[in-house]
Structure 1
Amino acid sequence: MAAPSAGRRHRLILTRNIMASEYASSAQQARNPSTDPHHVVEGELTWLVRAVGLAIGGLLAVGVILGLYHGLTFGGGVRAQIAHGLLVAQVVFAVVLIMLGSIVEGFGFGLALGTRWPYTKNIVVLMLRGDPEAAHRVVATLVGLVGVALAITHPVYEMFLGLGLIVATALFGMGVLYVLAGRAPAIVHGTHGLLAYLVFMAYLVPLAHANIGLGLYLKIIIPTHPLLFAIFMGGVVTGGRGFGEALGQFTVPERKPQWIVALHGIAGLMVVGTLGWYMPTYPVAFALVLLQLGVGFLLFQAVNLKPKAPGAIVAFHQIMALLITTAIVMQWQF
């Protein structure tokens, strides 16, 4: 076989160098999303992600069914029935939205759509394919639309407060993308998580206690204070460690992310102490918090083992937080 000419050898070497450069660049972007102008880091659509997504979709359908049922069986005029049905559905939708956020984090989809917010051209197609970040943004839109409908059908302060919290949560949601890309402080992530739970409580509290709004409820129910602080610090932990970064094992905190973890743990112990002080008012919430401490330890280990995608344990940790919040508001008893 004839040896390749000098020109052909030059082209082959140039092509090989370009491919190597592109590979190195893509690898660098996977490690550090701030090197990509859109900060896109795609997650892996495994069967587990799709299965969890289907379960979340089922929960969304349950919200619609419960809203219809409670609306139709609610006493009062048509407008009151519509408002009550929407309120029931909104509580479920807020839960779904928080759960989707945990799935996005747990399976490494935080930057699957990059920092382009709120939508991409094919966001519905991506959602139907199982992308949890796309689903998260679509459901956020649904929660916003229901919030507007509630403010129209039941124009009271509590509904406008809920709508305002939705808007604030959405704006901080955009900020979360920049936290993950290394362009914004971790406190933005914590504030987003706190606001998401305040949205949930803004609609759950009027549903559980007809004559009490969120502001008054938070003022008089002391256990919500350490709970919300723990939720806030949980978001700061995620933002503080950076996208795809491990926290590292430690006995005494040495780095900033480890100090944040320690504060989150102290906040969890504050919740335990406060609920214990108010026993026997919140027995179920107290038991759930004790279990949550163990789940949090497992999550810490999972983050160190698989920093980019710790897995379903993130969603379970979030489920526990939602159950604790609900158990306090509803005062669940054994």
Structure 2
Amino acid sequence: MTGSHEFHPVYHPAGFDDALRVAVEEVRTGRWVAMRDLLARTGTDWALRTTRTQVLGVVAAGTTTVEAWSEEERDNLDARVMWARVLVQRARRAHRKRYVGAHDLEIVARQACLIAAEAGPADPVPWVCLLALAQLDEHQQRAEHRVKPWEHMLPPGPWGLLRQVWDRDQYPREAFHHMFEFLNSCTTGAAALASAVDFGRWVASWAPFGSALLALPLYAYTESYRQQLDAVRRRGREDPLLRRQWAEDPARGDALKAYHHWFAVTTDADPLRRSVADLSHLAFSLWAAHQYVEAAPVFETLGPHAALQPWVHVTDDPHRPELAEAAFVRARSQCLSAAGTSI
């Protein structure tokens, strides 16, 4: 039996994807051949390509690896897509940190996305990248970010960009997460989070069995919880009733829906199709809702893998990752014990 004190979570952006892990480590050391070969093998598996290019883009943004690849193989379509990924990631970081010149980076990144889209018309990734950039347009100055919504109760936004992704890859996980981010950050006032929550629940209302989009509402509830916690902390006092919302509907009901309609029906799925972030949010939501027996197999599926989000939100200091890790390990132990399981 393995006690919780002996369990040490593993944090790696590649998650369950061993081939991606190798490419990531190569990119970090400035080598690009493993990245090129991995994307060539991935081919037109759009969902896997989207995930892999996203992770590689985040890692490569702090290096010159993609620049070196692009210089060496100027006509490689994957290199163009990765250049768009890197520039988008850099533009988002610069915007988040309010760097001087962030707007110029955004313009260059958008141009790289359009070049990649023209070079590979069937590829959804350049359009996913454009959706990722939409969040930077906080005042929705660009017309493409004020398009009429698919659902009349939701606000305008980059719905046309989402359609471009959908036409190439239906039920695209990353694209819908970027739409959620946009609605949460670019709609105005108190309605912003409400729109994001409504969006998440709307997506889950029609997402098919087995779709990771069924976990999207859990991200919305986590963001709502985070904002409420921030407000409580600013007032300098605790609210012991705040966490009760996880044990009540709609949060509890949507967590169980994600468990039964997504997780439970995909237990034998290819691990490459699972996101550590999604599993972490599901494990957290079930644990916080006191659904320990249901949470246990989610922790088992995670195995040694973990994510700090959303566990940072049950600690005294969200800026101390060791506290989030301790919270994760305690919850894991509690749920496995309740289910009579040990791993």
Superposition TM-score, scaled by structure 2 size: 0.38
Bigger helix fraction:
1
Superposition TM-score, scaled by structure 1 size: 0.39
